């Protein structure tokens, strides 16, 4: 028997009417072809809708909403700033899960780069990604639109799709993760302005320093 991870928050069932009320009372932030996706509530929390698109998807076993919540708790424990999940609701008839969370205060990295292409911010981003990889975090949605610049650090949003390994990522996973990153033309362009080589060398230097620091630590 497979042991599926259970949700770290209880899943409350709601009907279509209740789902509609939640949507109607909130302000739309992002929509896609299927309808509203990210909304802001009157209490300034965020609700994100997860639709199950295919009957035979892996989301049938562990819904993305549950993964989102569990990942947020796990990376928080690893000291990566992220959103704070508050609740999960499920509307069975619509095949929609709703996660409510407290926003991570700060600004989108993408927008920060558009306004000021500060080299210090590029260096911090390279170090941040090295830190994720050092902590075994393989974040499939890695791109500048899913990273928040907080007052004193960088952090992640949109955390449904990741795998967390108990040790630093190996070379092939790291490469693959950069490919995710470089899929976005906007991000590629920004990196080019700074210099891919420089970005890479900052990333590698930081990762190697963390690895060697840990290797020489006394047990």
Residues engaged in binding ligand ADP (CB under 6 A): 29-30, 37-38, 46, 48, 83, 103-104, 108, 145-146, 148, 157-158
User: Given the complex with Mg ion, which of 7 and 146 has the nearer CB atom?
Assistant: 146
**Smallest distance from the beta carbon of 104 to ligand ADP, in angstroms?**
4
User: Given the complex with ligand ADP, which of 107 and 192 has the nearer CB atom?
Assistant: 107
Span 196-215, contacts to Mg ion by CB under 5 A: none
Which residue in 9, 89, 135, 158 binds Mg ion (CB under 5 A)?
158
User: Given the complex with ligand ADP, which of 159 and 207 has the nearer CB atom?
Assistant: 159
Residue 11 and residue 90 in contact, taking contact as beta carbons nearer than 8 Å = yes
Half-sphere exposure of 210 (CA within 13 A, CB side): 18
Which residue, judged by CB position, is nearest to Mg ion in the bound state?
158
**Smallest distance from the beta carbon of 39 to ligand ADP, in angstroms?**
9
Q: Where are the alpha helices (DSSP H) in 78-183?
A: 109-115, 119-134, 171-181
Instruction: Work out whether the CA dihedral 45, 125, 37, 140 comes out positive or negative.
Output: negative
Q: From CA 82, how far away is CA 159, in angstroms rounded?
A: 8
Rg of the chain over Cα atoms, rounded to whole angstroms, equals 19
Which residue, judged by CB position, is nearest to ligand ADP in the bound state?
158
* Binding of residue 18 to Mg ion (CB under 5 A): no
The DSSP result for 170-219, as a single string, is PHHHHHHHHHHHTT-HHHHHHHHHH-HHHHHHHHHHHHHHHHHHHHTS--
Q: What is the total count of residues that contact Mg ion (CB under 5 A)?
A: 2
C-alpha triplet 209, 139, 190: angle, nearest 5°: 75
* Binding of residue 187 to Mg ion (CB under 5 A): no
Binding pattern to Mg ion, positions 135-154, x when CB under 5 A?
Answer: -----------x--------
Residue 45 and residue 101 in contact, taking contact as beta carbons nearer than 8 Å = yes
**Smallest distance from the beta carbon of 145 to Mg ion, in angstroms?**
5
User: Given the complex with Mg ion, which of 19 and 148 has the nearer CB atom?
Assistant: 148
30 binds, among ligand ADP, Mg ion, none (CB under 5 to 8 A by kind): ligand ADP
């Amino acid at each position: 028997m497979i042991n599926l991870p259970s949700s770290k928050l209880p899943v409350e069932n709601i009907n279509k009417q209740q789902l509609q009320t939640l949507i109607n009372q909130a302000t739309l932030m992002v929509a896609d072809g299927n309808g509203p996706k990210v909304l802001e509530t009157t209490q300034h929390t965020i609700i994100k809708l997860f639709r199950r698109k295919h009957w035979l998807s892996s989301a049938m076993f562990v819904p993305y909403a549950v993964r989102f919540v569990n990942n947020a708790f796990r990376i928080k424990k690893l000291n990566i700033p992220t959103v704070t999940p508050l609740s999960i609701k499920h509307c069975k008839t619509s095949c929609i899960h709703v996660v409510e969370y407290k926003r991570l205060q700060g600004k989108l990295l993408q927008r920060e780069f558009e306004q000021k292409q500060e080299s210090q911010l590029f260096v911090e981003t390279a170090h941040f990604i090295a830190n994720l990889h050092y902590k075994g975090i393989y974040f499939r949605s890695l791109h500048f639109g899913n990273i928040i610049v907080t007052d004193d650090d960088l952090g992640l949003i949109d955390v449904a799709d990741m795998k967390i390994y108990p040790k630093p990522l190996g070379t092939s996973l790291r490469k693959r993760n950069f490919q995710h990153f470089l899929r976005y033309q906007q991000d590629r362009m920004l990196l080019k302005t700074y210099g891919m080589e420089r970005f890479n060398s900052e990333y590698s230097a930081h990762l190697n320093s963390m690895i060697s620091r840990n290797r020489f630590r006394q047990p």
